[in-house]
Amino acid sequence: MSTPISGFSKLSKSQKISWLAENYFNDAQAGIRVLQQYWNSDQKLQQLHDEFIENTISNYYLPLGVAPNFTINGKMYAIPMAIEESSVVAAASNAAKFWLDKGGFKAKVIQSVKNGQVHLNFYGDSKRLEAFFNEVKPILLADCESITTNMRKRGGGILDLELRNKTQELAGYYQLHATFETLDAMGANFINSCLEQFASSLLREAAKSTLITEEDRLEVVMSILSNYVPECIVRAEVSCPVNELAQAGMSGQEFATKFARAVQIAQTEVRRAVTHNKGIMNGIDAVVLATGNDFRAVEAGVHAYASKDGHYRSLTHAAVSDGVFRFWIEIPLAIGTVGGLTKLHPLVKLCFEMLGNPGAKELMQIMAVAGLALNFAALRSLTTTGIQKGHMKMHLMNILNQLEATPQEKEAAIEHFKANTVSHAAAVSFLESLRP
């Protein structure tokens, strides 16, 4: 077992790797070779990657795929997707093709408001705190002028600032709740800078005010944006006459009814809802990653939104009425098209170019459509042929690579499993039958 190391961050990359290899790799030289295999031969590009985060030792690659033929609001897209899971890109592509001649996908941004809070302790009379806040609110906003100037020039900025009494949930707990429009920026740094200025100004003014006493114990606990953004909502949908849905030996009405029932189950049963929504996030996260956005923030906000009424539910909805099938999603997405990696990572820049360099609202629509498409593809499989038939066909190549199949063996296996059920055991058996 290795001993703790002091000053690790000050070591060079090669020194970090040597220490890791010495202390944590079973075969030091083999481990070093693997890490170096993923270094970029372009030293300038590798340095760029090294400087994205701290203590960099190598690059971790994910496949970058593309799902073509997405029509969104009448415009054709090829959607980039960074993801390791088999069948996701294929499923997205199939859904895009399915809806291509049925009007495609429609999407719109309903709201784009983001928020953050200054979290406070205050144990005095709430009415005095309210009076103090109303008195100093203009000062707090004015003190943020230098931070908000550029954002306001572009049409964004601070929308509102209010004092919220949360003492029923937690004794002595209040917050300054601020709302923002950050336009094409995700806005985390902008929001946090404003919040910290609010906090500093609040304490400064409290020290001068006769409304706040030492006994009130006014204290700023922390100032931070929220990744729960229920006022930053995008909607995506598809619809068509029920008779256009006939497939897999089912009439259009049968398929539509069964499909809608599957969504109702995900609205009702949390165990199903979690997997249902995970499938939606397969599509959304893949586009979030490809465009250099923060998938952890998106995931956290989305799953909180799925629980907004106290019961975790499906993020999608389906209805059959007057011979028309409708399937839609409303989802919170706080993302950006400027800042962060969006202008730094060469592949991210290329993905934006592939999408036509969208602004944040257009990218929100694209991401929501990707999530809806993956959910449609999954439910279509689940309610007809079953999920494993298609998924395991796509997973076959991973199994063959794991079993170190030769190109000739892969070709034979792909042909064999066109008519046979794919499983790890079946692949092992088939390869054994080929090998002497």
Residue 122 amino acid letter: F
- Tell which residue, 280, 364, 277, 283, has the closest CA to residue 80: 283
Helix/strand/coil for 331: strand
Catalytic residue status for 391: yes
d(CA 239, CA 191): 38
d(CA 105, CA 111): 19
Catalytic residue status for 216: no
Question: Quick one: tokens of 138?
Answer: 């203009």
Q: Which of 16, 137, 177, 278 is catalytic?
A: 278
Q: Which of 49, 114, 119, 391 is catalytic?
A: 391
Which regions of 111-212 does DSSP assign to beta strands (E)? 114-121, 157-165, 173-181
Q: CA geometry: angle at 270 spanning 266 and 276, to 5°?
A: 45
Residue 153 amino acid letter: K
d(CA 274, CA 141): 41
Catalytic residue status for 85: yes
Strands 324-332 and 233-241: antiparallel
Question: Quick one: tokens of 179?
Answer: 């709302």
d(CA 38, CA 188): 31
Question: Quick one: tokens of 358?
Answer: 């969208």
Radius of gyration of the chain (CA): 26
Residue 245 amino acid letter: L
Q: Which of 181, 196, 237, 294 is catalytic?
A: 294
Catalytic residue status for 278: yes
Q: Which residues are part of the catalytic machinery? A: 85, 278, 294, 391
